[in-house]
């Protein structure tokens, strides 16, 4: 029997006091930090984190991120992340990450686009073939995973009488 593909799931944390807002739950900006930290785990698994930047003179820059806030997070609450690589080529990759409460409820989702940048030139550049191969391996492993209906829709609000939400 073939092994079923699964999202990347290495990130675990607990809500910290510095992430809280004046309402006593996680501040909206803190969700971006947590989602970014979770995606850094993906980059590390692909060999594309801090050491890569130092040796290759290249890094991934976030150029777009759409966050959906779905549930409050409180001090000390355990969180984990589940990430799917949605798309990738030699110069960019797109990650969809769900931030999950310990009981499995989705607290937030992040849809992020990254560009591979030569840090000396400040311009996009192709990944080395060995790193691109690792990215393609993950992309292929995630190809059969279901995609949420909201993926790629961006910000929107229902219009009166449109039936859209």
pTM recorded for the entire structure: 0.90
Residue 145 carries which DSSP code? S
Q: Tokens for 92?
A: 């960019």
Q: What is the pLDDT of residues 6-52, one digit of tens each?
A: 899 999 999 999 999 999 999 999 999 999 999 999 999 999 999 99
Q: Which of 86, 107, 105 is nearest to 96 (CA)?
A: 86
Q: How far is CA 64 from CA 14, 99, 157, 158, in A?
A: 25, 18, 20, 23
Q: What is the pLDDT of residues 115-156, one digit of tens each?
A: 999 999 999 999 999 999 999 999 999 999 999 999 988 777
- DSSP strand E in 21-138: where? 58-69, 78-88, 92-101, 106-118, 123-124
In the chain the domains, ranked by start, together with CATH numbers, are 12-142 (3.10.129.10)
Between CA 153 and CA 90 the distance in angstroms is 24
Q: Where are the alpha helices (DSSP H) in the chain?
A: 28-45, 50-56, 129-142
């Amino acid at each position: 029997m073939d092994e079923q593909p699964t999202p990347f799931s290495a990130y675990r944390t607990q809500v910290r006091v510095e992430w809280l807002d004046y309402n006593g739950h996680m501040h909206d900006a803190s969700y971006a930090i947590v989602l970014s930290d979770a995606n850094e785990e993906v980059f590390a698994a692909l060999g594309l984190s801090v050491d890569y930047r130092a040796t290759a003179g290249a890094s991934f820059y976030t150029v777009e991120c759409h966050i959906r806030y779905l549930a409050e997070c409180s001090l000390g609450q355990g969180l984990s992340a589940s990430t799917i690589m949605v798309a990738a080529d030699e110069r960019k990759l797109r990650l969809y990450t769900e931030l999950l409460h310990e009981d499995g409820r989705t607290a937030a989702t992040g849809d992020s686009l990254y560009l591979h940048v030569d840090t000396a030139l400040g311009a996009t550049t192709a990944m080395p073939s060995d790193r691109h191969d690792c990215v393609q391996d993950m992309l292929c492993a995630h190809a059969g995973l279901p995609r949420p209906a909201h993926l790629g829709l961006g910000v929107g609000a229902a219009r009166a009488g449109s039936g859209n939400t």
